[in-house]
Structure 1
Amino acid sequence: MTGTPPDHAIPTSLGTAGQRRRPEAHAVPLPPGMAAWFPLLPRTRPAAAPLDRRVAEIGHLAAAAPHEDDEHRQLVRAAETLNKAALIASDTGCADLAHQLCWRQLDLWLAAAPLDGKRAKLALEPLVNLGRLAIRAGDAERAHRLYEDAFHAVHAATTVEIDGRHLDFRHLISGTEERAEPVRFLWRILLADGTRALTRAGRWADALHHLQRYKGIGERLWDGRQVAVLAACATGNPDRSVTLLAESYTPGPWEQAIAACLRTLCLRAAQQPTGEATTAMAHTYLGLEPAVEHLLFRTRLGLVAGDLADDTRRPLILDRVICEAVSSSDAHSARDVLTQCRPHLKDTEQAALTATIEKSGLQRRMIPPELLDELMTAVSDAEEHMKQTLREARRSPR
């Protein structure tokens, strides 16, 4: 779920990419989970399942790529293989390997330029992942600069330097009419991941300015409006936050749950009564559908809601969070619950969550040799199939 405004909202007149950091006076500290995880949306994210299962999936993806119905679907499957392999490397703490895999894939695409719009979008995915690696490493400035520079370079069909490498995007895309899709893709990334880079660094005022500059604030509680609410609260204007929430359009259950959580925070910061807001927060969170693909979203929202709740509602919320995390195989959720909820965990729950994390290899800083061999074989197969498919496409253009 990307939650993006319509096409006409993409800015066509862009100012200077670099912006001076704005002072954040009269800051109100945000709860740790909210500061780390918001803006928070139910985007589908691969679970950190047991490592052997994830590596086996990469092998299946690589093997399936040549058997897809058409050329584009084959490239999509091969790219998915390579992107997920890099994610496994990152999740296990092997950041250097993750970087190498991203650059290897990007080099394959650049060597095949010019590309049509759909393929150019695929080509930019490993570049986006390099920014995500920077965010994970705590280098928010580098991540934000990468997203801005990439967007401007593709938008203007020019050159750019990223991680010390010179990238030429002048001929990446086969024609002006093909440029819209990859530009729109990078604009979405700039609004979501570029904003997240700033908020992870606690730069809420800068994040708000960034969203205003790129026309990323709408009426619904997607990335932009959540940042506007939290920036007002974090910079000492909770009354403005309450007003923004009251004027927000929240048609879906997850948006209503986010709104109730934000409202509880803002009313507390404004020193207004929070009883009704806290009740609504617990009710909307507990009423969310338990979709597997949105487990991490519910985990983090529940942990923040539990932090904001009163003594009556906190156990109800945390019991749900803990139960879902224990019954799943996602180490990301397990880690967050183990970190945030340890005093509330039974010994059996703590043991189950610890086992989930250990099986996933999360931040182990190594991949067992036999699994690494299996992973890299799948990577090589996917790369070779991608090269072959792109070569054939160049010999017989449509």
Structure 2
Amino acid sequence: QGLLKGHEEEAYRALKNNADGVPPTDSAPVGREANKEYLADGFAPYVKDRPHAKPGDSDYDHGASATLEYALSDAMLGQMAEELGHDADAKRYTERAQNYRKIFDSSTGFFRARDASGAFTGPADPAQSEGFHEGTSWQYQWLVPQDLPGMVGLIGGTDLANQRLDSFFAYDQLVKDPAKTAREVWVNGPYDYYNADKYNPQNEPDLIAPYTYLSTGQPWKTTDVVHAALTLFTDTPTGMTGNDDLGTMSAWNVLSSIGIFPVQPGTDTWGLSTPVFERVDLTLDRKYYPKGKLTVRAEGTSDTARYIQSARTDRTALDRTYLTTGDLRGLRNLSFTVGEQPSAWGTGADAAPPALR
């Protein structure tokens, strides 16, 4: 499909080889360095001060976050395997996608690194956690887009998850002064990743975190957080939040400004929030999008009138907080009605992006 058309099986074989093995020692790529332990035990161990076998980062330095990333990658590979008819592989990878549970410490209610013996290790305080790459357990806790309902269940349910999200985003401060909260509460310095219990809008681990509210019944808060984070992007020499990393942060800015963002990497699920523009006209490649154009409208959108009251795709009411790529391929118009107060839009039982099974 798409750019892989005609090469699907070739790409799948390469991805499967990476997911099920470790590159040889004489090969430059690190790959899934901790895969031997991950496949045997369900988690990548955190081995502090372990000598690096190859230049660059080592997954053993970041066993907890590596486990979450391996599990997320397994979920996406399971989807690809299913689409290609590799049913046994699909089942195996989908089961491995649940390995995020292996590093959940029920005594703290957060993810936590485990050492080679399987014991939880490092400080119990999630803001001081070890074994997470460029972040803390607080900042990695939502990196389970393949199964947010399961993650919410581990935390203790939707109410507790929303309380934790509100704390993470400093939501009470945010609604009073979005720009100040973004610059003085969230941002501690361009490369200050550790010892924090707040959202970091400057780095990849938290790219999809604001969209978690779409799955906890409070989608208007996604817009509050996204619009606050967008204030960090300006047309000045310091107007790029963090390191752009090959256009990653710029892409977050563009897509979040339009109100359509990929919330399950590797799948076709796009989360919705209020656009910051009244109208956006997108010219699309007809090879993949037969309509050739997509217009996104949000008449009257502003700093105060930022809450979705209703949404429509062409002439059909949309109550979900997401669209699929298939939906977008068939659309010509996506329209939002906005207002100054949160509404019940997107709060129905089937409104949230589905878990991958």
Fold similarity call, TM over 0.5: no
- Which range, TM-score by smaller chain? 0.3 to 0.5
The higher radius of gyration belongs to 1
- Output the TM-score relative to the length of structure 1: 0.34
Structure number with greater CO (CA < 8 Å, separation at least 6) is 1
> Of Structure 1 and Structure 2, which has the larger fraction of its residues in strand?
2
> Of Structure 1 and Structure 2, which has the larger fraction of its residues in helix?
1
- Output the TM-score relative to the length of structure 2: 0.37
